[in-house]
């Protein structure tokens, strides 16, 4: 197993990519505290590209809650090990001042209406902050020649939609790939934040997956979704505070109100759920079609 090269500065990253001179580069941005969800992105990038570059950077700009930023797990050594096992070649792990070298950005990307829904409503500024860093990282890892692909998890469905729009609207020369959610054996979507849950909270968090399954099964059977039944499941979990449970159009993210109640479900949808378990905010989702 080869140890990935660790680059702390943009110059080191640029030099390492130039030295490899790859015909194709797969880039995976992360915030570290890596788990097999990230591992799945790395492996797919490994299969599809000559060079695999990942970044590990906890981006302060996308945290609207200072406590959440302070608590976010950081574990570079374990991350290097997981990345090595997945065949990553280069890890870009900059300090904040390397990314925001001229201070926090004056010129900003605005995620617009789609960035104000769901996660954006509960975490004001989150998506603008996410776009601020992803837009820069996509430049920094750009090989400038050969194929360039970037990989994102379907776990963060709203993020994927917004990054697709950014890449299209700003003509980024990168091909985007989205990768299905990796779950624990019991069905909990893997997340770096799961490490902050107690055993009891982990058990209680299973309601996210259970509620999604209930509605996804109804969709598959062309039944009315009646999403209030899913919402009812949360009321039986005292450790879990539901933020939203909704079914949306997968392209526009607008709510599919007419499909969710009395009429049989048809067409395409995306179930989105967010809840706080103890102090930890969790999200999950699942595409549905019938």
- Using the rule CB under 6 A, is 38 a contact of ligand AMP? yes
Q: What are the CA-CA distances from residue 31 to residues 24, 54, 56, 114, 174 (Å)?
A: 23, 10, 5, 23, 20
- Using the rule CB under 6 A, is 118 a contact of ligand AMP? no
- Binding ligand AMP (rule: CB under 6 A), the pick from 30, 158, 285, 286 is 30
Sign of CA dihedral 192, 193, 197, 202: negative
- Binding ligand AMP (rule: CB under 6 A), the pick from 190, 204, 253, 273 is 190
Q: Is 139 a catalytic residue?
A: no
Tell me the two tokens of residue 49.
């590209």
- Using the rule CB under 6 A, is 156 a contact of ligand AMP? yes
- Using the rule CB under 6 A, is 119 a contact of ligand AMP? no
Binding region for ligand AMP (CB under 6 A) out of 97-105, 176-184, 233-241, 267-275? 176-184
Tokens 């001179």: give the residue: 21
Give whichever of 30 and 211 is closer to ligand AMP, judged by the CB atom. 30
Pairwise CA distance, residues 239 & 202, whole Å: 10
- Using the rule CB under 6 A, is 189 a contact of ligand AMP? yes
Give whichever of 151 and 234 is closer to ligand AMP, judged by the CB atom. 151
Pairwise CA distance, residues 250 & 246, whole Å: 12
Give whichever of 161 and 240 is closer to ligand AMP, judged by the CB atom. 161
- Using the rule CB under 6 A, is 179 a contact of ligand AMP? yes
Give me the least distance between CB of 281 and ligand AMP, in Å please: 12
Collect all residues with Cβ–Cβ distance below 8 Å to 15 and sequence separation of at least 6. Answer: none
Give me the least distance between CB of 180 and ligand AMP, in Å please: 7
- Using the rule CB under 6 A, is 31 a contact of ligand AMP? yes
Binding region for ligand AMP (CB under 6 A) out of 79-87, 140-148, 150-158, 240-248? 150-158
For ligand AMP, the nearest residue by Cβ is 153
Q: Looking at 35, 38, 126, 209, which residue is catalytic?
A: 38
Give me the least distance between CB of 104 and ligand AMP, in Å please: 19
Binding region for ligand AMP (CB under 6 A) out of 12-20, 114-122, 190-198, 278-286? 190-198
- Using the rule CB under 6 A, is 182 a contact of ligand AMP? yes
Give me the least distance between CB of 152 and ligand AMP, in Å please: 4
Give whichever of 161 and 227 is closer to ligand AMP, judged by the CB atom. 161
Residues in the chain: 290
Residues 254 to 283 in contact with ligand AMP, rule: CB under 6 A: none
Q: Kindly list the catalytic residues.
A: 38
Binding site for ligand AMP (CB under 6 A): 30-31, 37-38, 40-41, 152-153, 155-156, 179, 181-182, 189-192
């Amino acid at each position: 197993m080869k140890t990935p090269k660790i680059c702390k500065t943009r110059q080191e990253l640029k030099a390492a990519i130039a030295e490899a001179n790859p015909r194709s580069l797969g880039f995976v941005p992360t915030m570290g505290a890596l788990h097999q969800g990230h591992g799945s992105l790395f492996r797919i990038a490994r299969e599809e590209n000559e060079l695999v570059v990942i970044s590990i950077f906890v981006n302060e700009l996308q945290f609207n809650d200072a406590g959440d930023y302070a608590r976010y797990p950081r574990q570079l050594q374990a991350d290097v090990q997981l990345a090595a096992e997945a065949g990553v070649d280069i890890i870009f792990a900059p300090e904040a001042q390397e990314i925001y070298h001229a201070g926090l950005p004056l010129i900003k990307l605005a995620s617009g209406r789609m960035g104000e829904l769901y996660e954006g409503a509960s975490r004001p500024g989150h998506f603008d902050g996410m776009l601020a860093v992803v837009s820069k990282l996509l430049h920094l890892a750009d090989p400038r020649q050969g194929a360039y692909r970037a990989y994102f998890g379907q776990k963060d469905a709203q993020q994927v939609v917004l990054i697709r729009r950014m890449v299209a609207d700003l003509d980024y020369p990168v091909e985007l790939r989205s990768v299905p959610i990796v779950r624990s054996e019991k069905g909990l979507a893997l997340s770096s934040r799961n490490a902050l849950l107690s055993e009891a909270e982990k058990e209680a968090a299973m309601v996210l997956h259970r509620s999604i399954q209930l509605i996804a099964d109804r969709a598959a059977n062309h039944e009315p979704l009646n999403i209030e039944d899913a919402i009812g499941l949360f009321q039986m979990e005292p450790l879990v505070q539901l933020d939203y449970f909704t079914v949306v159009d997968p392209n526009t993210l607008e709510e599919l109100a007419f499909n969710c109640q009395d009429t049989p479900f048809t067409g395409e949808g995306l179930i989105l759920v967010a809840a706080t378990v103890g102090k930890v905010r969790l999200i999950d989702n699942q595409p549905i079609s019938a």
